[in-house]
Amino acid sequence: MEREYRDPRQFRQWELEEEGKTEEKNSWLWEEYPETLAEEQEAERDAKALQSMFPQEARAILPWIREACDQMEYEGSRMFDSRPDQTAVRRLGEEILEKGKEQGVECSWQMVQVLLLEEMYRRRQRRRRCRKNLFKARRDSIL
């Protein structure tokens, strides 16, 4: 099961919900900075193209890795810590490896760890880019 592209506007929506505001009041963000959305879509297409070249075993475990990262993608998540907990990441990799074995997918623990860390890195970078552009937009709206 392939995961659809996750719109970076979700981060903005979560912040607005915390502030008790609605998206209509701040829709200017994506109108003034459409390049942000375009950059994210291009990065996602590029990642999917490269991932399609992964070995079969790696492609087979990607859905579980994405699912695990989806569950960790929230404000305050350990995935976004400046230095994620190595033990927790290893434990998550072992859980993913066990899921794969239950489904008959054989792969090494090292492969699972590398793919998990790569997916975490991509999401951390996406979050940084979205936040950077969000702060830039807020600064520009104040000035």
**Residue-wise pLDDT tens digits, 63-110:** 999 999 998 888 888 888 888 889 999 999 999 999 999 999 888 999
Least confident among 7-11, 25-29, 85-89: 25-29
Of 50, 53, 118, 51, whose CA–CA distance to 79 is shortest? 118
**Average pLDDT, stretch 110-118?**
94
Confidence (pLDDT) at 92: 93
Average pLDDT, the chain: 78
